[in-house]
Amino acid sequence: MSEKKESTADSEAKSRAVAEDSREEEWTSPSFVQELFLGNFRLDLIHPYPAQSEADKAKTDAYLEKLEAFLRENVNPTEIDRTGEIPAEVLDGLRKIGVFGLKIPEEYGGVGLSQIGYGRAIELITSWDGNLTALISAHQSIGVPQPLKMFGTPEQKKKYLPRLAAGAVSAFALTEKSVGSDPARVTTTAVESEDGSEFILNGEKLWCTNGTIAELLVVMARTKPKLKNGREIPQITAFIVEASSPGVEVTHRCRFMGLKAIQNAVIKLDNVRVPKENILWAEGKGLKLALMTLNTGRLTLPMSATAGAKICTEITRKWASERVQWGAPIGKHEAVAKMLGEMAANAFAIEAMAELSCLLADRGSNDIRLEAAIAKLWTTEVGWKIVDDTLQVRGGRGYETEESLKARGEVSVPVERLMRDFRINRIFEGSSEIMKLFIAREAVDTHLAVAGELIDPSTSSKDRAAAFARAGAFYATWLPKQYVGWGHWPRYGEFGKLAPWFRYIERGSKKLARNMFYAMSRYQAKLERKQALLGRFVDIGAELFAMAATCVRADALRAQGGPEGEKAVRLASIFCRQARMRVDNLFHQLFNNVDASTYRFAQEVLRGEHAWLEEGVFQMIPDGARLAPEPPATAPAGEAPMAVPSGQ
Ligand SMILES: Cc1cc2nc3c(=O)[nH]c(=O)nc-3n(C[C@H](O)[C@H](O)[C@H](O)COP(=O)(O)OP(=O)(O)OC[C@H]3O[C@@H](n4cnc5c(N)ncnc54)[C@H](O)[C@@H]3O)c2cc1C
């Protein structure tokens, strides 16, 4: 092996080791979605529907009423978008009504909402102004309160939670110029002082939301490496940092295509002295803390997507029934009707998936990593399609700003703003591509535990023989189950019109498990490089989860009685019909695709062999200019291992 190759492999192994070390593993009940990937449709994990308690609902409803009145009376979203600023009075007002303590327990001065209660508040806020969602979510979905609640000492909680609940804004600082989706490579350093009482932080953080106004930051920094099996494992530690500390400097406020008023900063840390007692959890636990924080933190985005989906459905429905072209309301033309029919069904599914994931998080015992990750991935992807279709159906008016519409006498419908604000959801808190890798890694976890050593080229022949025997015993019982079992009528008959869909999900889950097993046997260790194939597995799992969520939610609504129950069953059935088409196509494409030739062609494009097709227009990037910052000295080359962490 060449010296370069050695260091690359070593570096990749380090990245993988850090990521593996940081996976959350402490749960008492299994994950519904993980079981789905294993061919076990565990309906008992989501049915009976894990409903919100009456007391929690009453508390949430009372708070939402107050919040709605505040937003209506005090917040002008058009103005915030135009000026790029959230007025100081709005920030103060939000503090007064306790928005910064929504998820902080009452004993520390917070409102103490449950995950679903908080999610409902986020849904309402997003439907009014996405900038406020970014502010509140960066503060308490990922900022100091969430990891502090989960990992803080009693002293830390007593010291900081009341301050945070009262409105001391916080932020989460992980990303750096060279460290985006692969946070294990953080370069900011934290070195212990000589007397051991402090750590001295140096580095620069990028895109830190709330960074310009935050009083408190959670900063991820690299501390002394740990030795594991003779290998140096980099350690990342989380620190609570007072933004007023000497050496903390906001060097730039970043501006974006949407979320114009987001207070997002580049923050320089120059010999910042942080007391040792400000370490969150423990030295070396920073990445795990960040990933565990995100496991629930990322449930905010599905609730935001729910808001976007509902607003868009309302706008499209009203516009498509009023706007007449070619002698008929445009909603009567099939091309537009198709978009609206898919939109309404998807809006129902987005809410079902988001709500179910929050309710499972509130239950506390279930492993919800996969549910939260799929909810983040699927609802933001489908939500984006909904926003795009809304703009399309609105035609030229969709592209026109709300102020321009108003100035010429039309209703100021903010589709253009909505689109700009929504787009980032597919990138932050784990980009869609990284979410797929994370989900795929968790989905095959049982297979890796059972047969991982068999596909690991570094396993010795003695260990391989033992692993072979272990895997043989597991698959001798697991594999036949994926082929047998009754997934047809009259199973699930108690669900009436929804029964066929439960049967379809059960059969789909087994088919998915069989195909994943086949792919593992066929590609072995190379499977982790087959991102397009893994992506299809994830997409199938996501659609099946969406079908299950819509069906159990519709069933719960039907059980409550009232006319909406039957309508919910209709919505769920329509959604499932549409989802079945997608699932069937995805199954077909698993091993009938052009992935390999497209990949080879993309490498030709990367090498510049087709740069000739870019001729005839202005060149965007001057010759010699470098777009990407230099990677850190230890960055791995080549593709990422499947064990990538979940990004932020
Ligand atoms: C408005 C905004 C607010 C933000 N707020 C915060 C914050 O508060 N705190 C914070 O720490 N960070 C924050 N971020 C950073 C955000 O989380 C990152 O942008 C995100 O993690 C992606 O990193 P990146 O932009 O560097 O993309 P890169 O990692 O450079 O990725 C570029 C592209 O390559 C893809 N890609 C990367 N690796 C792989 C792979 N292994 N396989 C397949 N595809 C891959 C990505 O999906 C993406 O499409 C914010 C960013 C923005 C724009």
Write the residue with the smallest CA distance to atom 44 of ligand 1.
Answer: 433
Ligand 1 atom closest to 173 (CA): 11
pLDDT at site 461: 78
Cα of 227 vs centre of ligand 1, distance in Å, is: 29
Return the minimum-mean-pLDDT range out of 178-192, 321-335, 537-551.
Answer: 178-192
Best residue among 207, 219, 259, 534 to mutate for probing ligand 1, ranked by most atoms within 8 Å of CB: 207
Task: Reply yes or no on whether the pLDDT at 226 is more than 50.
Answer: yes
Q: How far, CA to CA in Å, does 493 sit from each of 129, 188, 293, 374, 514?
A: 44, 58, 40, 28, 26
- Taking residues 27-40, what's their average pLDDT? 89
Q: Which residues line ligand 1 at a C-beta cut-off of 6 Å? A: 138, 171-175, 180-181, 207-209, 256, 262, 264, 424, 427-428, 431, 433-434, 437, 531, 640, 644, 647-648
Instruction: Return the ligand 1 atom nearest residue 648 CA.
Output: 17
pLDDT band per the 50, 70, 90 thresholds, residue 456: confident
Cα(583)–Cα(101) distance, integer angstroms: 41
Q: How far is the CA of 322 from the centre of ligand 1 (A)?
A: 41
Question: pTM (2 decimals)?
Answer: 0.93
CB atoms near residue 627 (< 10 Å): 6
225/191 Cα distance (integer angstroms) = 11
Q: Tell me: pLDDT of 260 over 50.
A: yes
Q: Going by CATH, does the domain composed of 170-294 fall within 3.90.1150.10? A: no
For the chain, where do the domains classified as CATH 1.10.540.10 start and end? 54-165
| pLDDT recorded at residue 364 | 83
Query: 616 to each of 81, 574, 604, 619, 625, how far by Cα in Å?
Result: 36, 47, 20, 9, 20
Per-residue DSSP letter, 366: B
- The three-class DSSP label of residue 227 is strand
Average pLDDT, the chain: 91
**Of 206, 199, 242, nearest in space to 223 by CA:** 199
Instruction: Point out the residues that are catalytic.
Output: 429
136 pLDDT higher than 50: yes
Give me the CATH code for the 54-165 domain, please.
Answer: 1.10.540.10
- The CATH number corresponding to 296-432 among 3.30.360.10, 2.60.40.650, 2.60.40.10, 1.20.140.10 equals 1.20.140.10
Structural element, H or E, at residue 289: helix 286-297
Nearest Cα to Cα of residue 428 among 319, 522, 306, 301: 301
Where residue 271 falls among pLDDT bands split at 50, 70, 90?
A: very high
Most confident among 280-284, 446-450, 480-484 (mean pLDDT): 280-284
- Cβ atoms within 10 Å of 172's Cβ, excluding its own: 31
- CA–CA distance, 288 with 267 (Å, rounded to integer): 23
Q: Round to whole Å and give the CA distance between 336 and 392.
A: 9
Segment (H or E) for 116? helix 115-128
In this predicted structure, the answer to whether residue 33 has a pLDDT above a threshold of 60 is: yes
Ligand 1 midpoint to CA 557 (Å): 38
CA-429 nearest atom, ligand 1: 17
DSSP label at residue 529: G
Q: Where in the chain is the domain with CATH 2.40.110.10?
A: 170-294
